[in-house]
Amino acid sequence: MRLTDETTLPPAASDSAAEILARIGEVVLSFDEDGRLRYLNHAWERLTGRPVAACLQRPFTDFLHPQDASEWPALLHGALRSGEPTWLRLTGPDAELLWCELRLGDHQPGTTLLYATLCDITPQVRQEQRRAASLRSLESLINRVPAMLYRSRNNVDYTMEYISEGCVHVTGFDACELLEQSQLSFGKLIHPDDASHVWAAVQDSLQSRSPFSVNYRFRHADGHWCHLHEQGRGIISASGEVLGIEGLILRQLR
């Protein structure tokens, strides 16, 4: 079904089609090559709080967040080129910020109008923003703790996949030096006389599906042997496969 550049459906359109457009939850709109709105269904008013009649013939960018309004040509070009939806922000009632997903319809030959739908994704975006803020807060807390949180593979090198910034306090090394053995192998920095004991304790705990606790000497970044205390447990899949190890390492004062 095509829309005209007027505020209503063409005379040939059925009453049922008009009724569907009026009741549909998503905003249906069209705009011309100058970006002026030529059609809006009633979902626009429900979303933005603005009467349809007062918005028609106005530039679509009038209702966008200032940053998105300035980037609108690039956003539109990208959506036309890729055929993929794009996210943008509308200003709603009382300047409320509304996140929407814009999907462009197929361009109709012989017309300069573009057709699109707008879906309100504000709740999902806000939930993701809260989650990201919570993760940032948690990461900040973790990185302030004078201990090293880690996740590693179950091999003799204890190949590190994640290390908190407390690594510097505990070992003297930056986390990036030990991650994925980019420069150093964590396992090879354990004192040779302690390495076999540590390995055996970890493997016993993995087999019994229980936590482990070990003490060992570790070559500090400045070259001396420091004493570490480690508590951890295996990461086990639903099928019983060992996916890795995770735990906490503390510096012991002697």
Taking only the tens place, the pLDDT of each residue in 201-217 is: 999 999 999 999 999 99
Task: Please state the rounded mean pLDDT for residues 102-113.
Answer: 72
Q: Are residues 168 and 212 in the same domain?
A: yes
Of 128, 158, 179, at which residue does a domain stop?
A: 128
Indicate whether 103 belongs to any domain. yes
Q: How many domains does the chain have?
A: 2
Q: 3-state DSSP call for residue 34?
A: coil
Task: Please state the rounded mean pLDDT for residues 211-226.
Answer: 95
Q: Are residues 155 and 208 in the same domain?
A: yes
Q: Are residues 122 and 149 in the same domain?
A: no
CATH number of the CATH domain containing 206 = 3.30.450.20
Answer yes or no: is pLDDT of 35 > 80. Answer: yes
Indicate whether 137 belongs to any domain. no
Measured torsion, CA atoms of residues 80, 84, 89, 93, in degrees rounded to the nearest 10? 90
pTM here is 0.50
Q: At which residue do the structure tokens 């970890």 appear?
A: 202
Answer yes or no: is pLDDT of 17 > 80. Answer: no
Greatest mean pLDDT among 10-14, 38-42, 189-193 lies in: 189-193
Q: Would the CA dihedral through 122, 124, 125, 131 be positive or negative?
A: positive
At 110, the pLDDT band (50, 70, 90 cuts) reads: low
Whether 228 contacts 253, CB under 8 Å: no
One-letter-per-residue 3-state SS of 38-103 = EEECCHHHHHHCCCHHHHCCCEHHHHECHHHHHCHHHHHHHHHHHCCCEEEEEECHHHCEEEEEEE
Cα–Cα distance measured from residue 91 to residue 99, given in angstroms and rounded to the nearest whole number: 9
Of 76, 99, 128, at which residue does a domain stop?
A: 128
Q: Are residues 123 and 149 in the same domain?
A: no
Q: Are residues 22 and 66 in the same domain?
A: yes
Answer yes or no: is pLDDT of 168 > 60. Answer: yes
Answer yes or no: is pLDDT of 244 > 80. Answer: yes
Whether 244 contacts 152, CB under 8 Å: yes
Q: Are residues 118 and 163 in the same domain?
A: no
Q: Which domain range does residue 228 map to? A: 145-252
Residues 6+ apart with CB under 8 A from 195: 156, 187, 216
Q: Are residues 40 and 112 in the same domain?
A: yes
Cα–Cα distance measured from residue 49 to residue 22, given in angstroms and rounded to the nearest whole number: 15
At 82, the pLDDT band (50, 70, 90 cuts) reads: confident
